[in-house]
Chains A and B, each alone.
Chain A
Amino acid sequence: MTDGVVVTGFGATTPLGGDAASTWEALLAGKSGVGTTQAEWTEKFDLPVHISAQLAVNPTEVLPRVQARRMDRCEQVAMVAAKEAWEHSGLGAIPGEDGAAVEAERLAVVLGAGIGGAPTLLAQDDLLEEHGLRKVSPLTVPMLMPNGPAAMVSLEYKAKGGVHSPASACATGAEALAWACKLLRDGEVDVVLAGGAESCIVPITVAGFVQARTLSSRNDDPERASRPFDTGRDGFVLGEGAGVLVLEREEFAKARGATVHGRLAGVGLTSDAFHITGPDPEGEGQVRAMRKAVENAGLQPSDVTHVNCHATSTVVGDVGESVAVRKALGDHPVLTAPKSALGHLVGGAGAVEGIISLLSVRDDVIPATLNLVDKDPKVELDVVAGEPRKTTVDAALNNSFGFGGHNASLLFTKP
């Protein structure tokens, strides 16, 4: 019998708030993090999309100046979320310091990004083109490398038990939690800082998503733009942010007297091998991911009362997911789609929404899906809309799917 995996801390910085508590509060209050993009380049490049979900709190306002200037914004948001999560976990002293609860060799980081340091790459390339080699920062590579966010967090907390950076586009944050769970169950380490981060609201990513016809262009009404499951949906809203969870082996957490907020009881990872951006219309890979997570937790589909959906507000994806949920679990799960309020945090999404799923289990409340006015008739499941729903949530499944055919499902349960 392998050890269980528990959540002892979490942190987030999102378009709804600078930490996990304010994000959760804003989500329950029905607030939207979407607005007009505060950047001069939307006009410069005549981009048809002027809206995005930008951070509520700029990470440079909370990180030490010198630490921030050595990091890409994606690394900055990872660090902000990791610091909150570590503080929240009560682990206290950093490994190697007096009173540290965990040894450096027993602490790992599993944290990824979907796009990562592309903004640094572009900015430094501009400098090279305009001013030549001398102006290129010696920090360029550590700022743009995809393992940068994980590596930066490992330095901060002296994690020597391994640093891993999954990259699975919009499923990255969830996949990181899944791999962290496996590491802990294998007894490789006692504690993992796990999550995802993203900050790529820059011209080329917006232009690329526009050309793939994936973004909402409801520029005149930003807060209504992200509307998963609604007939009026026309694409997702690009967001930025990060989420980090402190996951521990249950025995270890108990022994140190940690407060346990819930457990990551099951994980399911599958792939479609169908199309580079489009989901398998049969949802076969999504169904398998959800079933795997439930089986992995030793539960039955009937035990899963709530699904925190990936639902990004695209025409095809939302319906496909609802059909897959029915196939995998049945007609009983109650759905919500947090991207209606947060926008799509890409590599950060799975981790932030993992925290939201955990909080639904902890607090027995499901946040409402914003802007669900006229539900798509093809969505034949109950979706929470209007007001948050107070209901017992014993087990919440959190879905994340990514370009490339990645499917990740996480099952959170009560302590």
Chain B
Amino acid sequence: MADNAEILSGLAEIVEEVAGIDTAEVTREKSFVDDLDIDSLSMVEIAVQAEDKFGAKIPDDQLAELKTVGDAVDFIAKHQ
């Protein structure tokens, strides 16, 4: 089980890999769409990689609700 800090850093690595955004930019309060400019296609890639990394299933209807990095970290922490 990864703690929240580990999930955040792991998620930041995935975002960097998929969208080329510096890991330091990927902080809890950032919106994936509005702040990090990540499109819907990249969000699917990020979700699949996060599922593999943390063993947390992210259904499509839930993915749409994960607006910020913090939302995603909390969801993964709860469902891993």
Chain A residues engaging chain B, CB cutoff 8 angstroms: 64-66, 69, 134-135, 137-139, 142
Contact = CB atoms under 8 A, between A and B. Distances in A.
- Which secondary structure dominates chain B's binding surface? helix
A138 B45 contact: yes
Contacts, number: 18
Interface residues of B, number: 10
Contact of A135 (B18, B41, B48): B48
Contact of B20 (A65, A134, A135, A138): A65
- In order of increasing CB-CB distance, the 5 nearest A-B pairs are A66-B20, A138-B44, A138-B41, A134-B48, A139-B41
Contacts of A64: 20
Interface in B1-51: 18-20, 40-42, 44-45, 48, 51
B19 A66 contact: yes
18 contacts: A64-B20, A65-B20, A66-B18, A66-B19, A66-B20, A69-B18, A134-B48, A134-B51, A135-B48, A137-B45, A138-B40, A138-B41, A138-B42, A138-B44, A138-B45, A139-B41, A139-B45, A142-B41
Given A65-B20, A134-B48, A139-B45, 15 more contacts: A64-B20, A66-B18, A66-B19, A66-B20, A69-B18, A134-B51, A135-B48, A137-B45, A138-B40, A138-B41, A138-B42, A138-B44, A138-B45, A139-B41, A142-B41
Contacts of B45: 137-139
A230 to B, nearest CB: 48
Interface in B40-75: 40-42, 44-45, 48, 51
Contacts of B48: 134-135
A76 to B, nearest CB: 15
B72 to A, nearest CB: 17
A134 B42 CA distance: 14
Contacts of B18: 66, 69
Nearest to B45: A138
Contacts of B40: 138
A103 to B, nearest CB: 25
Contacts of A134: 48, 51
Q: Most chain-B CB neighbours within 10 Å: which of A65, A134, A142?
A: A134
A130 to B, nearest CB: 15
Nearest to B40: A138
A134 to B, nearest CB: 6
A137 B45 CA distance: 7
Contacts of B41: 138-139, 142
Nearest to B21: A66
A328 B19 CA distance: 53
B3 to A, nearest CB: 26
B20 to A, nearest CB: 3
Nearest to B43: A138
Nearest to B16: A66
Contacts of B51: 134
Nearest to A66: B20
A50 B17 CA distance: 34
B43 to A, nearest CB: 8
A81 to B, nearest CB: 22
A228 B72 CA distance: 60
Of B40, B45, B51, most A-chain CB atoms within 10 Å:
B45
B39 to A, nearest CB: 9
Contacts of A137: 45
Contacts of A139: 41, 45
A231 B40 CA distance: 56
B48 to A, nearest CB: 6
A134 B48 CA distance: 7
Contacts of B20: 64-66
Nearest to A140: B41
Contacts of B19: 66
Contacts of A65: 20
A60 B72 CA distance: 31
A132 to B, nearest CB: 11
Contacts of A142: 41
A69 B19 CA distance: 9
A348 B5 CA distance: 49
A384 B19 CA distance: 50
Nearest to A142: B41
A217 B4 CA distance: 59
A64 B19 CA distance: 11
Nearest to A136: B48
Nearest to B44: A138
Nearest to B48: A134
Nearest to A134: B48
B25 to A, nearest CB: 13
